[in-house]
Structure 1
């Protein structure tokens, strides 16, 4: 879009999405940019469905310290990622947009977006409503209905992510190199599954969990499964956008 096209948008109705992801290892068979690629693709498709929604270019890198034993992985410090997003959002608010949604596609960013949702909400209170979500957590129930793997089979470069990239960018998936890994997280209080609920917070180095960096079962992936997953998560996000568009923006009080 051009600057005049942005300037002509309805500030009251338009939702602005900032996708976040990462550049990090995704096993032997998946591209480093998988998380950002998927977050952007899901955001664009949901925006088209929801209408009156624009998607900003993603700042490709995220917090990926737990992947740094694998070549090609890049990590920002949490404070760096927070600062980048704070500056981007402040720019958008300066131009009068009132509803901004951070769509995250990387589990390692979860703590960061929790902080951002609170700090940005406080900073721009009265001017804008800002929300943050991880798209596969939002669509947890829909994904669970489609999965074929048992618990542990959907974690990283797994049935879910491999299928999604096979659907969107099949030329980037070297499926013949994929290896299945069901790691033992070491305690019943811990899980490596994408849809698992875990109350405990700790550091898990992926090099300790899997020699290839894969957590789960990419052997169950297919482009057809990827389309089903993609349609499900896109639908959930579009439904949320439609709801978010009408959230009240409180007035700042002295």
Structure 2
């Protein structure tokens, strides 16, 4: 059920919903082979594949957000200051909660939204004690070791504009991904540690506004990635609302 299609005389549909979905995108350079709306297409695409039987209501995707320095320098990216997007999302989710919906999924398609999503959720639950937020980054709905099985070779391919992300985008927008044979490819950089860590750089290695062995991008792999992610996403949501 889409919030934009609910009529004024049907407002009870909002309070009767089990949860709301707020997709989070970005307007950002993803390389010469990819559309600027990549994260918008992914956020909307996965939002529309939330199982309707779970009785959720899908709100419009937030298209503009904070972008890191490593993509903001590329023409095409339209960034928003982090402080602004934090306040903006806070107002949006409080508006949704005021409709009588206590559960909200922040369905994210942009790495730069991860921190702000957590901050907003933690802040808003101070004011709304019955509120519950589920933060979903779509790319984490497929296990890391699935890379080889899905057809990625010598790379996990999960970087910005890489074959994992662009194959998934191709599943939603098959005519908007155009990898040419002369497009540069960037192999994975050796990790500093096997333990989780966060590295923020203005100009990363193996990078030109995107990364990865993009020649591996394919519709077939994209359909596999999206299918696996959607199945796991809906299982997670079902467990959450039935808890």
Whether TM exceeds 0.5 here: the answer is yes
Residue in structure 1 matched with residue 100 of structure 2 by the alignment: 96
Cα RMSD between the aligned structures? 2.3
Please say if 1:209 is aligned against 2:213: no
Please say if 1:180 is aligned against 2:176: no
Paired residues of 1:24 and 1:33 also in contact (CA < 8 A)? yes
**Cα distance per residue 1:20-63 (max 9 Å; x no partner):** 12111101110111112101101211243x53012111110122
Please say if 1:240 is aligned against 2:243: no
Displacement after TM superposition at 1:15 (Å): 1.3
Residue in structure 2 matched with residue 110 of structure 1 by the alignment: 114
Displacement after TM superposition at 1:131 (Å): 2.3
C-alpha distance in 1 between matches for 2:14 and 2:61:
22
Displacement after TM superposition at 1:156 (Å): 1.4
Please say if 1:225 is aligned against 2:218: no
Question: How do 1:1-254 residues align onto structure 2 when only pairs under 5 Å count?
Answer: 1-4=5-8, 7-9=11-13, 11=15, 13-48=17-52, 50-66=53-69, 67-126=71-130, 128-141=131-144, 143-144=146-147, 145-151=149-155, 153-176=157-180, 178-182=183-187, 184=189, 188-189=192-193, 198-199=196-197, 201-205=198-202, 207-210=203-206, 212-247=208-243
TM-score with structure 2 length normalisation? Answer: 0.87
Paired residues of 1:27 and 1:178 also in contact (CA < 8 A)? no
Deviates more, 1:35-44 or 1:173-182: 173-182
**Cα distance per residue 1:70-93 (max 9 Å; x no partner):** 101111111111111111111111
Paired residues of 2:155 and 2:188 also in contact (CA < 8 A)? no
Paired residues of 1:12 and 1:98 also in contact (CA < 8 A)? no
TM-score with structure 1 length normalisation? Answer: 0.83
C-alpha distance in 2 between matches for 1:143 and 1:35:
22
